[in-house]
Amino acid sequence: MNAGHIHLILNHAPIFGVFVGVIIFGIGMFRRNNTLEKTGLITFIVTGIATLPTYFTGEGAEEVAERFKDSSHDMIHEHEELAETGLILMIALAIASLVLLIVMSRSKSSNDAKHSKQGLMKSAVLSLAATTFGLMMIIGNTGGKIRRPELRGDVAKNSTEKHVEHQDND
């Protein structure tokens, strides 16, 4: 097993982790259910931690991918640049989630001012999580295009060319 394999195994965690966290946290906010909100926040924190090995195995995966004859340095570079931004957003989400989790855990009173601040913090975390999920989807798509020609549109183009060649031979 090489770095490319490990990266491919891990790369789905940030995408699905944030997706699941958004669903749980969003439902918790909608239902005003602290348990679901805290579960969503913990999901964001765990996903942030899981993103680190995903990111750091990317360099080894790049070395493997560059050995393939049809690899594109530009595609790899685009994926790498997006992944750097994604890592920053994911770390920001994990830290914001941890801060909010601590604030929620320490809050015992039903002070309206505290709940108003918490509500703003929750909305900010949900917004950051949704943005992070969107970027993670883009990162996953650019990563998939590195080795999946059907995601680049190459298969459709090649099959059309073959179909035209076949017709010309008739």
Residue pair 134/14 in contact (Cβ under 8 Å)? The answer is no
Q: What are phi and psi of 145, to 5 degrees?
A: -65, -20
Pull the structure tokens for residue 100.
């909010």
For residue 153, the model assigns a pLDDT of 67
Query: What pLDDT score was predicted for residue 62?
Result: 80
At residue 116, the pLDDT reads: 81
Tell me the pTM: 0.82
Domain count across the chain:
1
Residue 155, pLDDT score: 56
Structure tokens at 149: 């020609």
Domain hosting 82: range is: 3-169
d(CA 28, CA 33): 5
Consecutive sets of 10 residues in the chain, 170 residues long: mean pLDDT of each? 84 96 98 97 98 91 77 83 96 98 83 76 98 96 78 55 49
Q: Extract the tokens encoding 13.
A: 């965690």
φ, ψ of residue 84 to 5 degrees: the values are: -60, -45
Residue positions counted in the chain? 170
